[in-house]
Amino acid sequence: MGIRARTRTSTWTGTLLACVLVLAACDGEPRTTDDASALDGEPIPIAFLGELTGNFAVWGIPARNGMRLAVADINAAGGVDGRPLELFERDTQGAPEEAVTLLRGLIDRQEIVAAGGIISSDVGLSVTRVAEEDRVPLFLVKAGSERILTPDTRYVFRTCLPAAPMNMQPLAEYIAAEGLTRVGAIVADYAWGRSIEAAMQETIGASDVELQIEVAPVPETDFTSYLRRLTDLDPQLVIATGHPPGSGPIARQAAELGLQGAIVGPYAASGSVMEGLGDLAYDRYLDLACADVDRDDYRELAARYHAEFGDYMENDAVAGYGQVLMVAQAIEAGGSDAPADIAAYLHETTFELPGYAFDVSFTAWGELASARPLLTVLREQDPPEGVNPGAEWYPEVVFRSGVLEPFDPATP
């Protein structure tokens, strides 16, 4: 199955951003983020559907806040053809059955035109069926299981984390660029971890690199025995991408055991990493990212995000912000708020979203078609002005990958 051609390139989001960064409408009349009530058009209902409590809340809350900021910005800039966006928020608590019930309620009662914020793969697998049946666009932030999208998926879109098998390509490129020859890994014994394991064996293991993979239970918090089994290898890099809950403990315990190699995380929240590791993170904790912390538009957006929410703008917040912008552009530029028309516009358009490391476009089945993740390392340094006041750390980009080959679910 080929990638559907993109016939339009986004300029709308850049124009909008120029307006909202000064919180003024494009007609020159300044508005505040509370001015949705001044817009007299019929509200356009969209939804956040994600984890605000539970294990995935560290990703879900920033995604929700990013969506909140985008809604406020768009309404402050005059709405979508004079119509305000209205955001409905639902906490799935990571429970697939609850998420299905919530999404059906949003579609039936609120008549939402799109939903975003999905973090958990288990939730993503369940709600995708609803989105496809009811033909309502649904955005994934994380939810990296390759089983979520099928050859027939048309209403579900990845926006930050690519399908699990795609995530080892950037690391394989980095390992080759750095000339590393010894790589260890710890993966979790569930779908995501096993998918990462298979991708590592196919990409990194097929090279001249000596690769050793250890498998741990999902709830594991003490990785000492697994790390000790890696000591003879003396890895130059330890990949913890396949064990998202364990990436912090793995980094700390590796340092305590005297392992010198860097640790690669799973698109973790930098603020949480620093809270858990402190000085141990500096120059040691690498992670993949869909947000480009070097871009001026990221820094401008992140400064306003911090002013609004008092927190550092994570990848998930950038993705949440972008999801709302894509829906708004699809309605305004496409001339329709019908969910099927929004989905068609998404498939046909390449989006230049603020703060992103790459332009966002989609395959026919909703995979990221032009993803180029970054690899960053946490450094002890002052952040740019306003981005994270009072912090003594900021990520530094150490590697920019090539465009990832989209995972094709039709391929055996």
Query: 267: number of CA atoms within 13 Å, CB side?
Result: 28
Q: Which CATH number fits domain 165-289+376-384+389-400: 3.60.20.10, 3.40.50.2300, 3.40.50.620, 2.130.10.10?
A: 3.40.50.2300
Q: Check residue 114 and give its pLDDT.
A: 98
Distance CA 88, CA 110 (A): 8
Cα separation, 258 vs 174, in Å, equals 23
Phi, psi of 68 (to 5 degrees): -60, -45
List all residues 6 or more positions away from 89 whose beta carbon is below 8 Å from its beta carbon: 47, 48, 52, 64
End-to-end alpha-carbon separation of the chain, Å?
A: 12
With the C-alpha atoms ordered 218, 223, 225, 227, is the resulting torsion angle positive or negative?
A: positive
pLDDT value at 6 more than 80: no
Between 40 and 383, the higher pLDDT residue: 383
- 131-147 pLDDT, tens per residue? 999 999 999 999 999 99
Mean predicted confidence (pLDDT) in 349-378: 98
For residue 361, what are the CA distances in angstroms to 16, 61, 71, 129, 276?
Answer: 19, 25, 22, 22, 35
Sign for the CA dihedral angle at 333, 334, 337, 341 comes to negative
pLDDT-based confidence at residue 11 (cuts at 50, 70, 90):
low
- Whether the CB-CB separation of 122 and 94 falls below 8 Å is answered with yes
**HEC sequence for the chain:** CCCCCCCEECCHHHHHHHHHCCCECCCCCECCCCHHHHCCCCCEEEEEEECCCCCCHHHHHHHHHHHHHHHHHHHHCCCECCECEEEEEEECCCCHHHHHHHHHHHHHHHCCCCEEEECCHHHHHHHHHHHHHHCCCEEECCCCCCCCCCCCCCCEEECCCCCHHHHHHHHHHHHHHHCCCEEEEEEECCHHHHHHHHHHHHHCCCCCCEEEEEEECCCCCCCHHHHHCCCCCCCCEEECCCCHHHHHHHHHHHHHCCCCCEEECCCCCHHHHHHHHHHHHCCCEEEEECECCCCHHHHHHHHHHHHHHCCCCCHHHHHHHHHHHHHHHHHHHHCCCCHHHHHHHHHHEEECCCCECCCECECCCCCECCCCCEEEEEEECCCCCCCCCCCCEEEEEEEECCCCCCCCCCCC
Q: Give strand pairing partners of 278.
A: none
Measuring CA to CA, how many Å separate 108 from each of 76, 102, 130, 131?
28, 10, 12, 12
Of residues 337 and 25, more confidence is placed in 337
Its pTM stands at 0.92
> Residue 20 has what pLDDT?
53
Please choose, from the candidates 198, 125, 118, the residue with its C-alpha nearest in 3D space to the C-alpha of residue 165.
198
Mean pLDDT of 237-241: 97
> Which amino acid, one-letter code, is at 116?
G
- Placement of tokens 């697994």 in the chain: 226
123 has a pLDDT exceeding 50? yes
Average pLDDT score, the chain: 91
Architecture of the domain spanning 8-161+293-372: 3-Layer(aba) Sandwich (3.40)
CB 67 within 8 A of CB 141: no
Residue 32 has pLDDT above 90, yes or no: no
Return the structure tokens found at 328: 């708004």
- Please write the tens of the pLDDT for every residue from 179-215: 999 999 999 998 888 989 999 999 998 889 999 999 9
Do the two domains 8-161+293-372 and 165-289+376-384+389-400 of this chain adopt the same fold?
A: yes
Is the pLDDT reported for residue 30 higher than 50?
Answer: no
CA atoms within 13 A of residue 393's CA, in its CB half-sphere: 21
Kindly list the domain boundaries of the chain, sorted by start residue.
Answer: 8-161+293-372, 165-289+376-384+389-400
- Tell me whether strands 44-50 and 85-91 are parallel, antiparallel or unpaired: parallel
